[in-house]
Amino acid sequence: EAGVAQSPRYKIIEKRQSVAFWCNPISGHATLYWYQQILGQGPKLLIQFQNNGVVDDSQLPKDRFSAERLKGVDSTLKIQPAKLEDSAVYLCASSLLVGSPLHFGNGTRLTVT
Amino acid sequence: DAKTTQPPSMDCAEGRAANLPCNHSTISGNEYVYWYRQIHSQGPQYIIHGLKNNETNEMASLIITEDRKSSTLILPHATLRDTAVYYCIVRPSIIQGAQKLVFGQGTRLTINP
Q: Is B50 on the interface with A (CB under 8 A)?
A: no
DSSP state of A70: G
With CB atoms and an 8 Å threshold, state whether A98 touches B103: no
Bigger pLDDT: B95 or A14? A14
For residue B91, name the pLDDT band (cuts at 50, 70, 90).
confident
Q: Which residues of A touch B (CB under 8 A)?
A: 4, 31, 33, 41-45, 48, 55-56, 91, 93, 98-99, 101-107
Q: What is the mean pLDDT of chain A?
A: 94
pLDDT of residue A71: 85
Question: A56 contacts in B (CB within 8 Å)?
Answer: 97-98, 100
The predicted-structure confidence for A49-95, as pLDDT tens digits, reads as follows 998 899 899 999 999 999 999 888 999 999 999 999 999 999 999 99
With CB atoms and an 8 Å threshold, state whether A107 touches B105: no
- Whether the per-residue pLDDT at B31 is higher than 80: the answer is yes
Is residue A64 within 8 A of residue A71, CB to CB? The reply is no
A65: left (phi over 0), alpha (psi -120 to 50) or beta: beta
CA B94 from centroid of its chain's CA atoms = 20
Q: What is the mean pLDDT of residues B14-34?
A: 93
Question: A41 contacts in B (CB within 8 Å)?
Answer: 105
For residue B96, name the pLDDT band (cuts at 50, 70, 90).
very low
Test mutation, A56, A104, A106, chain B, max B CBs within 10 A: A104
- How many CB atoms sit inside 10 A of residue A23's CB? 26
Distance CA A97, CA A91 (A): 18
Distance CA B19, CA B50 (A): 16
Candidates A102, A105, A106; nearest CB to B101:
A102
Largest CA distance in chain B: 47
Angle at B45 between CA A40 and CA A49, to 5 degrees: 90
3-state secondary structure of A44: strand
pLDDT of residue B94: 61
Q: Is B9 on the interface with A (CB under 8 A)?
A: no
